[in-house]
Amino acid sequence: MNLFHIIEVQQFKDRGLLEDIFSLSARMEKLDESKDLSLLLPSVPRRKILASLFYEPSTRTRLSFESAMKRLGGDVISTEDAPHFSSAVKGESLTDTIKVVSSFADAIVLRHYEEGSAKRASEVSKVPIINAGDGPGQHPTQALLDLYTIKKELGRIDNLKVCFVGDLLYSRTVHSLVYLLAQQNNIELYFVSPEEIRMPRDIADYLKEKGCPFFEQETLFEVAHIVDILYVTRVQKERFRSIVEYERVKDSYVVDKQITQAMKEGSRILHPLPRVQELPPEIDSDSRSAYFRQADNGLYLRMSLLSMLLKQ
Ligand code: CP
């Protein structure tokens, strides 16, 4: 299958494609460790260029994409605070910006605050658009690195019980990973959140249609002992219309030692990061806490995707 734009995880239904991405990611990690750069992107007739356009803040996604591109031997042009330091300030539309930047680069990684923005960008771009988060919509490369992490940590991506806890309404990483997991075999999902920020109904309907069982509840302790993966998310203050609503739900769940003691020996805790109060540093030393290893995997997964998109 030929990849061009990466907009949503529904593009990754093909198990063979997932396996290719994961095995190339593992190869990238080995090459990087051994400093063997034989898989560099072609630099003739010129080095490939990645444009990173970020209209929302980012640490992991932007810097891992930029690092990935440079490690592959490519180059990067970027605007890290596009709402203030690009011509968006002067009123330029996203689609006009994309039309122009797609002449300057071989691929564009885009993070934007509007759901659907990456798709709109892909409709006018001459080069691949990689969705690095479109508001509360999707974050497909995060979901791929999450699934890659599950594969590395547990040795499988089928036969899993996965619990998502926290902000299920606004978390694009949750939305993407739920869609991606629903495409695997024998997956059981548990959604734990306050009523105000529960899973969007269109995603719940999708799961029903796919026949993927899911259970919604407000208590984490009840499910902690049965899950293989506990995927924790931050309550996203920036997406709430009122600070009062945010304050009401922000401390609903904390994955502390009481929760980890209830969890299975072979389970894992994931979090896309950044974290705030929901994941206290006291559990970092638990070998099941895999969130920093998960962030590390982002670099290799993104090297793999860039190399697949830009090798031609
Ligand atoms: N996980 C993630 O998307 O992190 P950043 O917001 O730092 O890119």
Residues 64-73 have pLDDT tens digits of 999 999 999 9
pLDDT of residue 230: 98
Hey, is 131 helix, strand or coil? strand
Does the active-site annotation cover 172? no
The atom number, within ligand 1, closest to the CA of 57 reads 6
Q: Which CATH architecture has domain 9-138+298-310?
A: 3-Layer(aba) Sandwich (3.40)
- Tell whether the model's pLDDT for residue 83 goes beyond 90: no
Average pLDDT over residues 66-93: 91
How far the first Cα of the chain sits from its last, in Å, is 14
Does the active-site annotation cover 61? yes
The first and second tokens of residue 120, run together, are 């709109």
Distance between CA atoms of 301 and 307, rounded to whole angstroms?
Answer: 10
The first and second tokens of residue 166, run together, are 């926290």
Active-site pick, 111, 112, 250, 271: 111
pLDDT of residue 38: 63
**Whose structure tokens read 């219309």?**
241
Q: How far is CA 227 from CA 188, 231, 259, 272, 302, in A?
A: 9, 10, 12, 18, 28
Query: Is residue 273 in contact with ligand 1, taking CB distance under 6 Å?
Result: yes
CA-closest residue to ligand 1 atom 1: 272
Burial class from Cβ neighbours inside 10 Å (0-12, 13-18, 19+) for residue 103 reads: exposed
pLDDT of residue 239: 80
For ligand 1, pick from 53, 59, 138 the residue to mutate: most ligand atoms within 8 Å of CB.
Answer: 59
- Tell whether the model's pLDDT for residue 309 goes beyond 70: yes
Q: In the chain, where are the structural domains located?
A: 9-138+298-310, 140-295
User: 142 C-alpha vs ligand 1 centroid, how far in Å?
Assistant: 8
Residue 312 pLDDT grade (very low, low, confident, very high; cuts 50, 70, 90) = low
- Tell whether the model's pLDDT for residue 246 goes beyond 70: yes
- Tell whether the model's pLDDT for residue 275 goes beyond 70: yes
For ligand 1, pick from 67, 273, 275 the residue to mutate: most ligand atoms within 8 Å of CB.
Answer: 273
Residues 31-40 have pLDDT tens digits of 888 877 666 7
Distance between CA atoms of 224 and 232, rounded to whole angstroms?
Answer: 12
Active-site pick, 5, 48, 61, 172: 61
9-138+298-310 matches 140-295 in fold: yes
Percent above pLDDT 70 for the chain: 98
Strand 187-192 vs strand 160-165: parallel, antiparallel, or unpaired?
Answer: parallel
The atom number, within ligand 1, closest to the CA of 139 reads 3
- Tell whether the model's pLDDT for residue 136 goes beyond 80: yes
Residues 138-187 have pLDDT tens digits of 999 999 999 999 999 999 999 999 999 999 999 999 999 999 999 999 99
Hey, is 110 helix, strand or coil? strand
Query: Is residue 132 in contact with ligand 1, taking CB distance under 6 Å?
Result: no
CATH homologous superfamily of 140-295 = Aspartate/ornithine carbamoyltransferase (3.40.50.1370)
Specify the higher pLDDT residue, 88 or 270: 270
Distance between CA atoms of 178 and 198, rounded to whole angstroms?
Answer: 13
Query: Is residue 71 in contact with ligand 1, taking CB distance under 6 Å?
Result: no
The atom number, within ligand 1, closest to the CA of 295 reads 1
Q: What is the mean pLDDT of the chain?
A: 94
Average pLDDT over residues 41-45: 75
Average pLDDT over residues 114-133: 98
Percent above pLDDT 90 for the chain: 81
